[in-house]
Amino acid sequence: MTGILVPKSAAIDSKILVLRGHRVMLDADIAGLYGVTTSRLNEQVRRNRNRFPPDFMFRLTPTEKHEVIAKCDHLHRLKFSPVLPLAFTEHGALMLASVLNSPIAIQISTAIVRAFVRMRESLATHRDLTAKLDLLERKYNRQFKVVLDAIRALMARPRKRARRIGFRPSA
């Protein structure tokens, strides 16, 4: 490896967002990682538009932009930008390495792919754990149904009889 400093994985992981059900990185964050300006990155995307189909990249809506700015402190500089940012999926971030002529592009693209893979593996682990917990809950709920029903009955407040309000004439 040459003298190029690649950011730590946590620095890249923190820039991955979930939008429209996809894990993405915004153009400003990727440009910073690749060592180019956002305008240069977007210029290269425009010149190579056929390399970025909708499943590789999409433009945020104004509502999505406001939500992202509100949730991510590091994106405060986008608040006053009239341009809607581009969001790149894992494949789009990889494709950027091929269109940017930066010595750091290959190393950063490798780090970005590793960050996306780590997130995917983490989500798979959480899914497995959730499924096991659901199975245990169903199993023990059946076995201890009588006990749980008794506890719920004890926890329930006794119903009070509704008091009549008002005057009742005598017969």
pLDDT at position 151, please? 64
Q: Give the CA count within 13 Å in the CB-facing half-sphere of 70.
A: 6
Domains of the chain, by residue range, sit at 9-122
Cα–Cα distance measured from residue 168 to residue 162, given in angstroms and rounded to the nearest whole number: 15
**Can you give the pLDDT of all 171 residues of the chain as single tens digits?**
444 444 556 677 788 888 888 889 899 888 888 888 889 899 999 999 998 999 999 999 999 998 888 888 778 788 888 889 999 988 888 888 778 766 677 677 677 777 777 777 776 676 676 666 667 667 766 666 666 566 667 666 666 666 667 666 665
pLDDT at position 8, please? 56
Q: What Cα–Cα distance (Å) separates residue 110 from each residue in 1, 32, 138? A: 13, 15, 42
